[in-house]
Structure 1
Amino acid sequence: MTYVIIHALAPIFVIMLLGFWAGKTKKVDNQNVSLLNVFVMDFALPAALFSATVQTPWVGIIAQSPLLLILTLSMWITYAAVYFLSVKVFKKSPQDAAVLTLTVALPNYAALGLPILGSVLGEGPSTSLSVAVSIACGSVLLTPFCLLILEREKARAAGENQGSTLSMLPVLMWRSLKNPIVWGPLLGVILSAIGIKMPDLVLYALKPLGLAATAAALFLTGVILSARKLKINAVVILATLTKLLIQPAIAWVLVVIFGIQGPVAVTGVLMIALAAGFFGVVFGNRFGVQSPDAEAVLLFSSILSILSLPLFISLTSGM
């Protein structure tokens, strides 16, 4: 099992290392990655998320409602707790806290979901559907929280509105919805729900862009990391432990509370037990927010998940 996990993590480290090397050697300007960020955030990732969600049958999404419940609650509880601690205890700015929180709360479904879940439950249509549902859940039901906070602070910094978050909410929601990373997967879910099937030609045309999404995002992350000096501190340690141990434990408790058993229970716990995803770091860079702690959590959780994932795979073996 350890080999399977290392095999799944290998592409992540290799591509991030290439980005890191490119940034350090100045083959890529690691101080100005706006063009690469636009490609990842406005084109590649939205195309990948749209393709994943529009091809997910609505009947299949409804059938996976127990999984959606576990994933959503686990991510929301973690997001609320980490954001509160970041702002109130560690005195981080709302922007920094939002980026760190999204990094902790949103697992790396896109890169790790299928290899890990396939090795435990076997590869097949049901496994692929579960991973697609997980990706849709994270992109539609969690990432907008981070975007709302970043847009709010951006508006306040520009002096556009100094009112309460509630009074700014309509404008912030509209700005978030205009972001391709939000409306891409949301449009896919809506089309799936109303039964509109995308022409094969459209999906075929988008496929190369979608395939480039994860690799481009990981490469960009490596470039960003090359411009930073990662430090281990109390925030990084607590956030990494939360991602690898506390959040999966929350998912485990929810599974028990709701009486969910079988493959759905295993999927819910293992999807949440995955290492931190790259969305937070990439989002922050797009808004000019640097969060060394989020970047450190991304790196350390990916490394240490080699130890934590076997633990939760063993714990879920009897479900």
Structure 2
Amino acid sequence: MTAAILLALVPVFFVLGLGYAAGRLSIVENHHVDGFNKLVMSFSLPAALFVATASASRSEMAEQVPLFVILSVVMLVILFLWYALARIALKASKADAALQALTIAFPNLAGVGLPIVGSVVGASGTVPIAVALAAGSILVTPFALVMVELSADKCSPELSAITRVLSSFRRALTKPVVVAPFLGVACSLLEVPIDPVAKAALQLIGQAAAGVALFLTGLVLSAQPFRLDWRILGATAVADIARPLLALAIVALVPVSTETARLVILIAAVPSGFFGILFGISYRQDSAALGSMVAASTIVSIATLAIAIALLFP
């Protein structure tokens, strides 16, 4: 068990540290990272999400419906609760509150979840992780992006509030990272075959997603001072403790298989994700607090993930 945890976590921290060191030592520019960001969010990650979901059979995808629904509920509850807390108690702007909520609610499934689940349950863990990523990309991310879009106020001020909301939804739902998993799930359910050449091409660019995203996260963190205040501590507690406990409470009430229940809780225990940081870069938002949330959550997850694995997969 210790070897499995180390095998999953050490590469994650190595790539994060590599990006951090590259930025701190000025080997790679850490203030202008738009190129890296576009590579991950517009090309590599969408390709990986599409291939993972579209390659699953209809029966495999149907078996993941309970996992999709439960994790969607967990992430949306955390998203809305933290957004409300950040707006009311922390007096954060709409955009800042939305990106904080996205960071805490949407786990780092590509960088941490995939190797962890793969080490624990084997190759069969790829489909649940892809489905969880699809849930976060299709349902959770658009809600956060709509608030950021509205805050950015790209729409003409003469437009009505409803028109502005619809326009923001349209922009959010047309992001490649949202469209790709939606199309992949549709292809799986409709049993649309994927051309082997196209699949191989998409897999090649998709393989870079987790590594580049983690390197980029470390690179962004290297340009910011690490903050440790009550907000960061609260965000870490919500992501690493409250999120898996919420998943545990739901699976205790909903009749699902033991295997699904274990996977749901393990996936919910994965630390905060980097989507908030990457979208913060895209929208020119301050990502210093987001970086601290991701760093603190990832460090604490060494202990919380070890506990989760020991209890769920003894």
The equivalent residue for 1:11 is 11
Does 2:201 correspond to 1:202? no
> Aligned equivalents of 2:215 and 2:116: distance in 1?
22
Structure 1 residue 315: deviation in Å? 3.7
How many Å separate the matches in 2 of 1:6 and 1:235?
Answer: 29
Q: 1:162–1:220: structure 2 CA closer, same or farther, 3 Å change rule?
A: farther
Which one is further off, 197-206 or 57-66?
57-66
- Counterpart position of 2:130: 132
Which residues of 2 match residues 27-42 of structure 1 at below 5 A? 27-42=27-42
Gap change, CA 1:162 and 1:77, over 3 Å in 2 = farther
Shift of 1:112: 2.5
Match status 1:55 vs 2:55:
yes
Task: Please report how far the alpha carbon of residue 312 of structure 1 lies from its aligned counterpart in structure 2 after TM superposition.
Answer: 2.4
- The 1:231/1:42 distance shift into structure 2, 3 A limit, reads same
Alignment check: 8 A CA contact 1:244 1:273 kept:
yes
2:273 paired with 1:277: yes
Report the 3-state secondary structure (helix = DSSP H, G, I; strand = E; otherwise coil) of the residue aligned with 1:254.
Answer: helix
- Would you say how many aligned residue pairs link Structure 1 and Structure 2? 314
Per-residue CA distance 1:79-131 (angstroms, 9 max, x = gap): 111111111100111111111111110112222334323444x3143x32222
Moved more, 127-136 or 243-252: 127-136
Task: Give the structure 1 partner of residue 211 of structure 2.
Answer: 215
Gaps of 5+ in 2: none
* Partners of 1:191 and 1:197 within 8 A in 2: yes
- Aligned partners of 1:5 and 1:296: how far apart in 2? 23
Task: Return the alpha-carbon distance in structure 1 between the equivalents of residues 165 and 287 of structure 2.
Answer: 25
- In structure 2, distance between residues paired with 1:64 and 1:189: 11
From the superposition, tell whether residues 176 and 214 of structure 1 become closer, same or farther in structure 2 (CA, over 3 Å).
same
Q: 1:93 is matched with which residue?
A: 93
- Counterpart residue number, 1:254: 250
- Deviation track 1:226-265 (CA, whole Å, cap 9, x = no partner) reads 1100110111000000011111000000001113341011
- CA 1:25/1:65 → structure 2, altered by over 3 Å: closer, same or farther? same
Amino acid at match of 1:178: T
- CA–CA separation in structure 2 for the residues paired with 1:179 and 1:273: 27
Whole-Å separation in 2 of the counterparts to 1:40 and 1:119: 24
Which SS does the other structure have where 1:144 is aligned?
helix
2:7·2:119 contact (CA, 8 Å) conserved in 1?
A: no
Does structure 2 retain, via aligned residues, the 8 Å contact 1:19–1:218? yes
Residue 244 (structure 1) aligned to one of 240, 246, 262: 240
Q: 1:242 is aligned with what amino acid? A: V
Post-superposition Cα deviations, 1:33-77, rounded to whole Å, max 9, x if no partner, equal 112212121111111111112112233222221111221111011
Partner of 2:66: 66
Structure-1 residue corresponding to 2:140: 142
TM-score normalised by L of structure 2: 0.94
The answer on whether the counterparts of 2:61 and 2:189 sit within 8 Å (CA) in structure 1 is no
Looking at structure 1, the residues matched to 4 and 107 of structure 2 have their Cα atoms a distance apart, in angstroms, of 18
Give 3-state SS (helix, strand or coil) of 2:209's partner: helix
TM-score normalised by the chain length of structure 1: 0.92
* RMSD (Å), alpha carbons: 1.9
**Gap change, CA 1:246 and 1:163, over 3 Å in 2:** farther
What amino acid is aligned across from residue 46 of structure 1 in structure 2? P
CA distance in 2, matches of 1:256, 1:167: 41
Q: What SS is found at the alignment partner of 2:208?
A: helix
Matches within 5 A, 1:147-158: 147-154=145-152, 156=153, 158=154
1:287 maps to which of 283, 286, 305? 283
Residue deviations 1:175-227 (CA, integer Å, cap 9, x gap) = 11221111122121222222211101001111221011111111111111111
Structure 1 29/194 Cα, relative in aligned 2: closer, same or farther at 3 Å?
Answer: same
Asked if the contact 1:70–1:268 (Cα under 8 Å) also holds between the matched residues in 2, the reply is yes
**Are 2:111 and 2:213, in contact at CA under 8 Å, matched by a contact in 1?**
no
- SS for the counterpart of 2:308 is helix
Cα 1:314–1:19, aligned 2, differ >3 Å: closer, same or farther? closer
Moved segments of 4+, more than 6 Å: none
Contact 2:52 2:127 in 1 (8 A): no
Please give the secondary structure, in 2, of the residue aligned with 1:276.
coil
Gaps of 5+ in 1: none
